[in-house]
Amino acid sequence: MRKLSISKGLAVALAIALPSAALANEELMKLQKDPNYWVMPGGNFWQWRYSELKQINNQNAQKMQAAWTFSTGVLRGHEGGPLVLPPSATGLKGDTLFVHAAFPNNVFAIDLDTLEVLWEYIPKQDYNETVPVMCCDTVNRGLAYGDGKILLQQADTTLVALDAKGERNDKGELTGNGKVVWSVKNGADIPPEKGGPYGPKKGMTNTQAPHVIKDKVFTGCAGAEFGVRCWLAAYNLKDGSLAWRAFSMGPDEDVLIDPEKTTELGKPVGKDSSLKTWCTKEEGWEWNKGGECKERSDQWKIGGGSTWGWWPYDKELNLIYYGSGNPGTWNPVVRPGDNKWSMTVWARDVDTGMAKWVYQMTPHDEWDYDGINEMVLVDMKVKGKDRKALVHFDRNGFAYTLDRVSGELLVAEKYDPAVNWASHVDMKTGRPQVVKEKSTHQAGEDVNTKGICPAALGSKDQQPVAYSPRTGLFYVPGNHVCMSYEPVSGGEYTAGQPYVNAVLNMYPAGAVCQDCPNNNAEKNNLGVFTAWDAGEGKIVWTIPERFSVWSGVLATAGDVVFYGTLEGYIKAVDAKSGKLLWKFKTPSGIIGNINTWSHKGKQYVGVLSGVGGWAGIGMAAGLEKPEEGLGAVGAYKGLSAVTRLGGVLSVFSLPEGQ
């Protein structure tokens, strides 16, 4: 009895010592192991987008049928996917699905027993202030959960924590409304000497899903096309207070870099590792080789480096991994230097924000190859050796496998054969070897460089891959698109105004790479779905698609892989062979992520349809000129013949008795 009493007392003492938010990480660690639920954007902390559910498998997937649908009431691009949580997490009576909408970012809590809306949160945002400075549609990439809270990052930079139970009246009954626990304006506290305060008036918005890790909520920043110097921020889950913020470029103290301890490819980055790579002219720095500026510029102050991807977490290493985007202004001529630390893979300490290691993939970006795409953590064999790996499919068309402990570069290979802006990546320096004829900087201002592959939207954009531990393969939703790119002279920076200074046109990669093995018969496909071996850096199989594959992928223990197309098809293919098993035409083009869960013993697969995003911006925003939508409108003009605007969650299952 005495022993039991002491243990019980210790448990109580620990509960008192640790705030409830500190236990959120342990709750999520436990919940992510239950395949009946989908509790975080990537399915688990390692961003696998894989489920152990196998009621639906490669033998019966062809029997799938629509189970139910839900309209968000918003007709714009719908990215991200729903969360499904148990009553032990939410305090509600039963299993609950939480789903979001594009701007104005409504949040719905849906009872999976009755399919009734338990509560809805309707944000109050200024359309005229916010939407005009959202570069690539009014998308939102979804929700996060932690400590009984549903986290939403609104477009207007407001980070909101909602009570998962919803608002209650004096009798404890649901009112149907969402209840705000706390909210904070992301970036509004930044002082003028650091470029702030930031918000839509300065061109800064948010589109990414928040991520809950330990006792913190992580959020990022969009606005490189408006000269915003972006960051990753950690807010305390308990009350929304700022824990730390790390900028993508600038002084070491802003970037949270230790000159001696932070490394790139195993070597300390040294003092002023960012500042010394923003030059006034090409002295000390050499194109395609690098070097330190002889004379530094202040261009880093409007340097971009957006952070709006999907971020994994390694508990053992206590590191969060993410990517930073393009440097400010798409005209590379006005910003000589490697422009660090844009276009970079980051490994940061979750508690302090200090960078452990960095790796810049595209020094001195000349093509808008944002490095924000997701990182996936896998313990795997790489070139025959066991590694704690990080796998990243970059917009620049190279798939990288790195050691996530040290940042060592292990594999860097093209995952679309059309890629031609660089011949290869030097494995010693980590630097891509740029083909001069595809350099927009070398061509110069007001010169149109043609036939660059991939286009600015990349061989893959933010749409996340899936990894199956059963096959050891990564499943990559891709673009097969090339472009013409003209840096435009002039165009001085004005806060809150577009700071792009480039004109683009996009077209099928088959027009440039006519012998590419992932072309369709007509050589006009804009999309491709790829199975990739990250240990060897090789394509296993590909499926050409008429339009870009802009959905997040799902892999399952049933050896089925799901993805969606811009025409609106959700497709199921065999994980080993890529054979088509089933498809269904949803109400609109799919740019959402496909998630799965089980309810009352039945497996469901759900996806948001609602055409939009960068590839679908022409339809979503009513644009017509080929060069509009940052060059995407011309390439995707055929979408209007196959789909229309929408905003519907479509849910599928096997027939009763199957």
Q: What is the DSSP letter of 4?
A: H
Q: How far apart are CA 458 and CA 456, in angstroms?
A: 5
Vertex 240 angle, CA 238 and 244, to 5°: 105
Q: Cα dist. 105→78, 123, 165, 189, 638 in Å?
A: 10, 7, 19, 23, 28
Structure tokens belonging to residue 581:
């098993």
Which contiguous run of DSSP H or E holds residue 378?
A: strand 375-382
Cα dihedral across residues 643, 648, 653, 655: positive or negative: negative
Q: Cα dist. 468→88, 186, 473, 602 in Å?
A: 28, 35, 6, 21
CA quadruple 250, 256, 260, 262: dihedral, nearest 10: -100
- CA 74 to the chain's CA centroid: 22
Compute φ and ψ for 275, nearest 5 degrees.
Answer: -55, -35
| 104 preceded by a cis bond (ω within 30 of 0) | yes
Q: How many CA atoms lie within 13 A of 286 on its CB side?
A: 3
Coil, strand or helix at 109: strand
Q: Cα dist. 100→109, 204, 218, 570, 583 in Å?
A: 9, 21, 18, 19, 24
Coil, strand or helix at 323: strand
Q: What is the DSSP string of 393-447?
A: E-TTSEEEEEETTT--EEEEEESSTT--SEEEE-TTT--EEE-GGG-HHHH-TT-
Q: How far apart are CA 136 and CA 463, in angstroms?
A: 14
Burial, 291: exposed, middle or buried (Cβ in 10 Å; 0-12, 13-18, 19+)? middle
Q: How far apart are CA 462 and CA 323, in angstroms?
A: 11
Q: How far apart are CA 146 and CA 27, in angstroms?
A: 8
Q: How far apart are CA 563 and CA 555, in angstroms?
A: 9
Secondary structure percentages of the chain, helix, strand, coil, to 5: 15, 35, 55
Residues marked active site are found at 368
452-470 core/surface letters (b: 16 or more CB in 10 A; e: else) = bbbbbbbbbbbbbbbbbeb
C-beta separation of 186 from 207 below 8 A: no
Q: Cα dist. 125→28, 67, 104, 368, 496 in Å?
A: 30, 34, 7, 29, 17
Q: Are strands 554-556 and 50-51 parallel, antiparallel or unpaired?
A: parallel
